Structure 1
Amino acid sequence: MTDSAQTKPEVEFVEGPAPEQLVITDIREGDGDEATAGSTVNVHYLGVDFESGEEFDSSWDRGQAITFPLASLVKGWQEGIPGMRVGGRRQLVVPPALAYGPAGGGHRLSGRTLIFVIDLLGVR
């Protein structure tokens, strides 16, 4: 695993209606090891609500990257991170069905389309 001196990203407001499918945009392509569906990933990330533009979570604000088994994350991450390489930065626009489910699902972000900007720092 490597650490990163990269800075917290700014999220550009996405025009138009919220997408119904996962939208993957590489902001910067990495050249390190490639994440696969079975990987454990070390990431810095920022999460923003699509509609309001309000930030709801940020590893940068906590001052440290986080390591997760990809299989334990929301479907949008499980589908959106494989193929990404260490050193890359990717934006995922994740509809509710691939995030925390429909409105009323019990999670504070249920029913919300979410935007994540993810820096992949390491995989194993």
Structure 2
Amino acid sequence: MTHDPQTKPEIDAPTGPAPDELRITDITVGDGDEAAAGSTVKVHYVGVEHDSGEEFDASWSRGEPIDFPLAALVRGWQEGIPGMKVGGRRELVVPPHLAYGPAGGGHRLSGKTLIFVIDLLGVR
């Protein structure tokens, strides 16, 4: 299955309990440059809460991708993006300890398992 890189992904409402570990699923495997742990990545993404299925953030909604060093992002992204190739779309299911920490951690998403669908547009 491939995706349309011009189209914001739809994330189906999850079923079952949230995983305790990072879950990585390639929706489309890219054929471009490969992201490494020290890379700066250019991505389009959508993020939803696992329990509610509600979107909390999306670069698509702002109309432009983000460009960030992986080291500046949550651990789930730091662990889940390396090995991905430009042109790919990957789903990451990120438990709280790899996202914004346990409930009461001070971030509005603390204690929540998050689902991201990420399109890798560039690596440097």
- The verdict on a shared fold, with TM-score over 0.5 as the criterion, is yes
Pairwise CA distance, 1:14: 2.1
TM alignment of 1:80-95, pairs within 5 A: 80-95=80-95
Q: TM-score, normalised by structure 1?
A: 0.95
TM alignment of 1:1-124, pairs within 5 A: 5-124=5-124
5+ residue gaps, structure 2, are none
User: What secondary structure, in the 3-state scheme, does the structure 2 residue paired with 1:33 have?
Assistant: coil
- Measured in 2, the distance between the counterparts of 1:100 and 1:57 equals 14
Question: Deviation above 4 Å: which 4+ runs of structure 1?
Answer: none
- Measured in 1, the distance between the counterparts of 2:75 and 2:47 equals 15
Pairwise CA distance, 1:15: 1.6
- Measured in 1, the distance between the counterparts of 2:71 and 2:115 equals 19
RMSD: 1.0
Task: Return the letter of the residue paired with 1:33.
Answer: D
Provide the identity percentage: 76
Aligned residues: 121
User: What secondary structure, in the 3-state scheme, does the structure 1 residue paired with 2:60 have?
Assistant: helix
1:56-97 deviation line (CA, Å, top 9, x unaligned): 000000000010000010000000000000000000000000
5+ residue gaps, structure 1, are none
Task: Return the letter of the residue paired with 2:89.
Answer: R
